[in-house]
């Protein structure tokens, strides 16, 4: 996990406003997707590329109970 992304303001704004492009939660903001979905991805493997990185970071954020920070960014 690239911890430097969690301190990158522009990246966090992008993360807060990104919606899931496929699957059961297609069209929902990443921060609004339930934690068990991220746990499943962690077991199965995250997708390659930027979306995979975002999903991994959201997994870490949710594990640590910090999703409210992402939701607050989205409200700005």
Worst-scoring range by mean pLDDT, 9-13, 37-41, 59-63?
9-13
pLDDT the model gives residue 45: 95
Mean of pLDDT over the chain: 88
Q: At what angle do helices 49-63 and 35-44 cross, to 10 degrees?
A: 130
pLDDT for 17 = 94
Dihedrals φ, ψ of 33, to 5°? -75, 135
Bigger pLDDT: 53 vs 3: 53
Task: Give me the residue spans of the domains in the chain.
Answer: 3-74
Per-residue model confidence (pLDDT) at position 67: 83
Query: How confident is the model at residue 1, as a pLDDT?
Result: 45
Dist CA 1 CA 16 (whole Å): 18
């Amino acid at each position: 996990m690239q911890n430097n992304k969690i301190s990158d303001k522009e990246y966090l704004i992008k993360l807060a406003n990104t919606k899931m492009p496929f699957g059961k939660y297609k069209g929902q903001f990443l921060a609004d997707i339930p934690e068990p979905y991220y746990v499943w991805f962690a077991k199965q493997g995250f997708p390659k590329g930027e979306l995979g990185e975002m999903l991994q970071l959201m997994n870490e954020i949710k594990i640590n109970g910090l999703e409210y920070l992402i939701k607050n960014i989205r409200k700005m």
